Amino acid sequence: MEREQALLELKGRLKNENLIKHSLAVEAIMKDLAFYFKEDIDKWGLAGLLHDIDYDKTSDDPSKHSIVGAEILETLDVESSIIYAVKAHNGMHGIERKRKMDKALYCADPVSGLITASALILPSKKLEDVTVDFVLKRMNEKGFAKGADRDQIKSCEELDISLEKFIEIALDAMNKISEELGL
């Protein structure tokens, strides 16, 4: 599946503009992680873009999230490794994250929210004013961005990358599309 078709499918299924922006942020992070690890940038980007394609359908039953998404992607003839990564990104299912792409998607998902929340508490509300140290400090505040699972973010270490480097890559990736994100 080409990126433009994937974006049309995503926008056709998600009504919340912030969720679409989240998907774009995760796509950007995944692409930059793929570049860092010398992996397939387009494939990793699609996994990030499509990871929450079922969110509107499953918002009332989180236990179905990512399983329904994988089913949707199968009907769209998406590559099986992307489908598997999407299915495995919801830790609720206990699906083993086998490949680097699986592990990267698992930690990229919540870090995008932590970085967005970090930008939104600044007076400028701009990603360009967010630093890695600022995000790391916010990460240690239990009441801040509660939906961003810290253990899930820290699982970046399974990729043999430090938390600091992971946040740096994620922040740089999101900065590249800051206009699209409205940040």
CA separation for the pair 148, 2 (Å, rounded): 29
* pLDDT the model gives residue 77: 86
CA separation for the pair 173, 176 (Å, rounded): 5
DSSP 182: T
Assess whether pLDDT exceeds 90 at residue 142: no
* Residues 6 or more apart in contact with residue 161 via CB below 8 angstroms: 36, 169
* pLDDT the model gives residue 87: 96
Q: Tell the residue number behind the tokens 């994250």, with chain if given.
A: 97
Q: Tell the residue number behind the tokens 């490794």, with chain if given.
A: 81
**Per-residue model confidence as pLDDT tens digits over 7-47:** 999 999 999 999 999 999 999 999 999 999 999 999 999 99
With beta carbons less than 8 A apart as the criterion, state whether 115 and 174 touch: yes
**Per-residue model confidence as pLDDT tens digits over 31-88:** 999 999 999 999 999 999 999 999 999 999 989 999 999 999 999 989 999 999 999 9
With beta carbons less than 8 A apart as the criterion, state whether 179 and 115 touch: no
Fill in the amino acid letter for 68: V
Q: The whole model's pTM is what?
A: 0.96
What is the set of domains in the chain, with CATH numbers?
3-181 (1.10.3210)
* pLDDT the model gives residue 130: 98
> What percent of the chain clears pLDDT 90, i.e. is strictly above it?
97
* pLDDT the model gives residue 50: 98
